Every structure is written in C-alpha cells, then in structure tokens.
Amino acid sequence: MNWQLLLILIETLLLLMIAIWGIKFRKKLLDSRQLNSTTYSTYLQSPEWQQLRISALERANYRCELCQANYHGVHHIRYPKHYSQDELANLLVVCQTCHQKLHGIRENTVELPVTVLSNETLKLSSVNYQFQWLQNPSNRYLLIIRSNKLGKAELQINHSDLVKFTEIIRLSLSLINQPFKPFTQTLKTNRAEYLFEIKKANNNSSYLKIIQNHPPLIENMAMVIFADQSVAVLNHFNRIVQTL
C-alpha cells in the first residue's frame, strides 16, 4: 500500500513538473515570436541593437574595418532571420564608400567624372570642416565635410540652391549664439530639401543641425555645428561663397 502511494506521489510530481515546464516554454516561445516579428526599423531603435552597435564601434575604434576611414555606419554581414539572434560577429563597421560597395550600389550606377575647383579645410580643436567646390558634367556644387574621431557627415549644396541656403545658414548661425530658442526652417528646391534646426545638447550648449533630403538613422550623420564653432565656420563659409 505504501509503495502504491509513493508511486502515485511520484507520478503526480512528474506531471506537475511537466506542466510547469510547458507553461515556461510557451511563454518563452511567445516572447521569441513577438521579438522576431519586430520590423527592421523598430529593431534599429531597440536597446538591444544600440548596445550591439556601440560594441561594434568600440571594437573598430570608430574606423571602417575595411579601409580604416572614418566610419559611416554599422553593416549586417547577413541579415538575421530573427533579430533575437543578432550578434556582434555579424556586424561590420564601414565607411560610406565601402558600405555602398557591399550593397553593390556603385557597381550598378555610372559615376560622373568630378573636377575639384577648390578644396580648403578649416581645422578646429576637435573637428575639421572641409569645403570642396566640385563640378561634374551636369552640376556644380559645394561639398562640406565635417569630420572628427566619431565619424563624418557630408552636406552637398547645389550651385542653384546656394543663395537661399546661404541666407538660412547665416540666420541660423547668428541665432545660435543668442539665448536658446528652438528654431526650425526647411528649404525645398528643385534638387534637394534641407532641414535646419537649432537644438540644445546635454551640457546646455546650443548647436545647429542640418539634414539634407531625409533624416539619417543616427545623429552623427547630420551636419552639426556647435555654438563655439559657429563664428569660425560662418567666416570660412562666407569667404568660400564670395569666391564662387
């Protein structure tokens, strides 16, 4: 009789353990399905991706892992079937040129020959601004490249947009040194669209952010000019424009 009771007790405990395991497994499966159904754009905003991205940048010392140029972004070697399976070994820090080559963009497009009409660099304590006046068979444009140890941002102003662009950047950079007041202005032209925003950083310093055509995935890809850099940048910009 005691053996029968012991067997019943053991059987009951086993069934209870199986039931508990089944509940935990079902919850884990549902959580996994919810994470895996996340869209790519949503995943890029998640803490999991941000941590992976930072780890990849630190591993690469904020340099392209293919050519050692300033980084442009973090590339997936293979897009994971499920984002919960994403890992550091699947990421590659790349510059814009290498990123385009990895996606086969340059191989499928015809690059127009570019003539450099002028090329000047403004070197400040923590950042450089390069001003290139360029021409190809279809257009003339001013290319501004901002670079520091975290990467670089590029802004292309077409010759036909230069007058209106100059008016807004002069206004923006004059406002940035005044008591902070949010400022937003958009310039739409036949060739491009530019968004100008005056914002406040975590240390309460003001800065101007310029985005061309569409918002970038990361803040560092926008053209950013801080208040303490604004006078030097504006003076250099004015001198370049006057020579065009």
Express each pLDDT in 130-170 by its tens digit.
999 888 777 788 989 888 877 778 888 888 889 999 999 99
Q: How many angstroms separate the Cα of 89 from the Cα of each of 47, 75, 103, 131, 155?
A: 18, 11, 19, 37, 32
Report d(CA 119, CA 145) in Å as an integer: 11
The token duo for 99 is: 């990123």
Whole-model pTM over 0.85: no
Per-residue pLDDT of 36-86, as tens digits, reads 445 666 777 788 888 888 898 888 888 888 777 778 888 887 777 666 778
Neighbour count for residue 19 (Cβ, 10 Å): 10
Answer with the one of 60, 84, 102 that is the final residue of a domain.
Answer: 102
- CATH code, domain carrying 220: 3.30.2450.30
Both 52 and 152 in a single domain? no
- Rounded Cα gap, residues 110 and 125, in angstroms: 38
**pLDDT tier for residue 107 given thresholds of 50, 70 and 90:** very low
Task: Using alpha carbons, select from 243, 39, 53 the residue that is nearest to residue 142.
Answer: 243
* CA distance readout (Å), 30 to 11, 37, 47: 29, 11, 20
Final residue of a structural domain among 102, 121, 150: 102
The whole-angstrom separation of Cα 199 and Cα 216 is: 16
